[in-house]
Chain A
Amino acid sequence: MEPWNEIARKTLKEGDGSQKIQRRQTLGGGVVRGGIVQRCPHQRPARPSLAALGQNALPQHHTRPGTGRVMTPRPSMCHTSSLQTPSDKAQALQISGSDLLSLARSLLQAWVDPLVVLSDSAYTLPHPAHNSISNKIQELQEHSKILGDGLDVLSSKMGPEAQTLSLLPYTGNDIGQDRISKLINFHFLMSCFRRDSHKIDSFLKVLRCRAAKMQPEMC
């Protein structure tokens, strides 16, 4: 993990800005509602802002011009990268509704365990804002649970194809021992989570627009 140490030193040198987890409280436009299960099955649950939560928890990558190569663990090493997902609009619109739902559910399911790990390690995170980070992680867990339950109900109504789940196990049980690796690993996990929540958000929105053909305001 030598390159990791190199990276850690470099990132630390750049200042705290890149390591700080921004704690904007905005949850974006969508809020997970507790009453998902009671909704009409044709209505998609309101999008949680998991993506927003994740995004706000992480700094922007592209705000550091001229700082040299920043070698963070590549996102291809996310534990969910093995799942085949569309990579542009054309591909996404070709996928059937059942498959979209299945992908969303698989991704959501894949993050249950990692979120527990994150939640546990947030308390001891060597960061000045570790308390609010911990709160945010707990929010993420709750919203994920609610959304997951709602999607389970939806999938049961959509047929057997929507019920297929891809298992994406998370094997890491520790985010590191020393301070630097803890921070880096935490950061990496959060960026993976942000991407996956953005995917879930997009898939479900496409699904919702398709389901509400007569209501353009749903798109």
Chain B
Amino acid sequence: MTVCARMRRDLGLALLLLLSAAVESDGMSPPGKPVFLGCRSPEKETFTCWWEPGSGGGLPTTHRLYYEREKLEGTHECPDYHSAGKNSCFFDKDHTSIWVDYYLTVVASNALGNATSGHFKMDVMEIVKPNAPENVTLQVMKREDNPYLHVRWEHPHNTDTKSGWVTIKYELRVKHRNNNEWKEYTSGTQTQFNLYNINPGEMYVVQVRCRLDHGSWSEWSNSTSVKTFNYPQNDKPFWILVSALSTVPFLTAMCILVIKRKYVKKVLLPPVPGPKIRGIDVQLLKRGRSEDVSNALIINQGFPSVPAWKDEIEDYLIVSDDVLLPDPHRKKKSLTVAAGFHLNLEIQCKESLGQRDWEKAEERKNGIDTFPPQLPTQKQLCPNVTFVHAEATDQRWPIHDAAAESTVQLLAPTGYVDIQRHKSMQEEADGNEMDYTRVNDGNILILQKDKFPGCMDVQRQEENIPEDYSRVKEVDGDNKVLLQRQSFSADSSCGEKGTPYTDCTNKKPINPHVPGPSKVELIGSGYVDTIY
């Protein structure tokens, strides 16, 4: 070759090089080779693949994806370039098959040329990765002293959980707001979870993720956080309220108690009646004048000498069980008493008494026939009632009507039975005097109204007549009549009529005004003791 020819060839080459350099310096070139980024199937029914374009080449470049598939003839192009965004290919359900290999390639082409990526082999079963779980909610559940966090979420909306084609499993992680350490828990297929080891007053952050069968885990869901309560502080206002509310009724109760202390005292500590001795004036005692004291202590109103009493014949008071019901129409004077012990008292109304009084007694008596099984109630007794001393049970009282029967059986020797002064009788017996009389043969003691000045007055003032009585409870033995215990009125100060102590009654007959020769004879010791 001549030198000229060689030089021409070299020149051509140089020019070509320059030209190519010039062209490249303008940015025009065939496209660079695209690169596969990866593929993903979120639910094992469709999948998407992404690639990265190579260097641009300066010219508008188009990318095309081609694929071949096992058990499928030929090469096919991507069915959908747009649904999944730029540089992607979306395979819908009709184009997705599983357990078969796909061979994918992307070809980038521009005016100057093509560039092909390498084959990318994939099987759908390998690229399964679901979306993150949705709607993660977090709640603090109060359970007395053991609060806990309740986490709830939903499966990603595009996964099918009903057919068994995929099985979702969940995982969650928790941390304190300020901490960086996550604690992970597995939830299995449940879409809720309870966290029990939480501290009050803390802010907790929770995230959840899931995976299908044995595929890849999804991304963590967005953080959901909640703050737990501060329990000690929460309790405080509650307790303050409780204590405030409870003090008000408490104070009210205390005030009421203080105001009504007298009443309370009365209720709690009922006044015990002190012993009352008739004829004793407490005030007198308190004043302490010796004269008065001795006067008060000694009941000297018509107190006969004792020996004189003893001379008398002993009388008996016989008490029988027979109950003879008085005939209300027959002016019966007997009053029957008590089961087991009937004390029949015969009302003796002396003829010496005024008819008026007798009638009154009668009326009163007729109204009441029988006693309840108790000791004789006092109001049924005619004020004229006396002890009846009779020796014989069937003795008739000469002073009674023929129809009247003596039902009084007297037991040997007994003392006296208390005489009750009837209240109403008393009121009208104003000025009348009660008196004891004695019938000779029958040893009947007749109580007449007589004047007991001091006593009468006192008794008229007496309000609670029944309290002056002792009821005969039982006749015990020869010399004893057991009286029923009574409550004694503090105001009773009369020592003569209707005293609680029968010894007082014994003194009644000791009335200097008593007419008649006979006197009531005291038994034995002189009086019947009330036995407590």
Contact = CB atoms under 8 A, between A and B. Distances in A.
Contact of A62 (B98, B99, B122, B163): B122
Given A66-B35, A198-B125, A217 B189 contact: yes
A106 interface: no
Nearest to B38: A62
Contact of B165 (A52, A61, A69, A206): A206
Nearest to B160: A89
B214 A66 contact: no
Interface in B20-44: 33, 35-39, 44
> How many A residues touch the partner, as a band?
35 or more
A16 B160 CA distance: 39
B101 A209 contact: no
A90 B93 contact: yes
A22 to B, nearest CB: 13
- Looking at B36, B44, B127, B213, the one whose CB has the most chain A CB atoms below 10 A away is B213
The listed residue with most A CB atoms (<10 A of its CB), out of B38, B126, B190, B214, is: B214
Contact of A206 (B35, B39, B164, B169): B164
B309 interface: no
Interface string A52-63: 100100001110
A92 B165 contact: yes
A60 B126 contact: yes
B127 A62 contact: yes
Interface in A178-219: 195, 198-199, 201-202, 205-210, 216-219
B327 interface: no
A13 interface: no
Interface string A83-107: 0010111101100000000000000
B73 to A, nearest CB: 12
Contacts of B163: 89, 93, 206, 209, 219
Interface of A: 28-29, 49, 51-52, 55, 60-62, 65-70, 74-76, 85, 87-90, 92-93, 195, 198-199, 201-202, 205-210, 216-219
Interface stretch (B112-120, B228-236, B328-336): B112-120
B125 A89 contact: no
B151 to A, nearest CB: 17
6 contacts: A51-B213, A61-B126, A65-B36, A66-B118, A87-B99, A88-B93
Contacts of B117: 65-66
Given A90-B93, A209-B164, A219-B161, A70 B121 contact: yes
Contacts of B161: 216, 219
Contacts of B213: 28-29, 51, 201-202, 205
Interface of B: 33, 35-39, 44-45, 70-71, 93, 96-101, 117-123, 125-127, 160-165, 167, 169, 189-190, 213-214
Contacts of A207: 164
A87 B100 contact: yes
A74 B167 CA distance: 29
A210 B122 contact: no
A93 B122 CA distance: 24
Contacts of B118: 65-69
Contacts of B160: 89
Given A29-B169, A51-B214, A75-B70, A62 B125 contact: no
A87 B167 CA distance: 18
Nearest to B190: A217
Contacts of A66: 33, 35, 117-118
Contacts of B101: 74-75
Contacts of A51: 213-214
A60 B118 CA distance: 16
A62 B126 contact: yes
Contact of A87 (B35, B98, B162): B98
Nearest to A49: B214
Nearest to A64: B118
Contacts of A90: 93
Contacts of B100: 75, 87
A195 B125 contact: yes
Nearest to A87: B97
Contacts of A199: 99
Contacts of A49: 214
Nearest to A88: B97
Given A66-B33, A208-B164, A219-B167, A88 B121 contact: no
Most buried by A among B117, B118, B127, B165: B165
The 5 A-B pairs with the shortest beta carbon distances in the complex, nearest first, are A209-B164, A87-B97, A28-B214, A206-B164, A52-B214
Contacts of A93: 163, 165
A65 B99 contact: no
A74 to B, nearest CB: 7
Nearest to B117: A66
Contacts of B33: 66
A62 B163 CA distance: 29
Nearest to B168: A219
Contacts of B164: 205-210, 218-219
Contacts of B126: 55, 60-62
Contacts of A85: 99
A210 B99 CA distance: 22
A61 B122 contact: yes
A65 B33 CA distance: 11
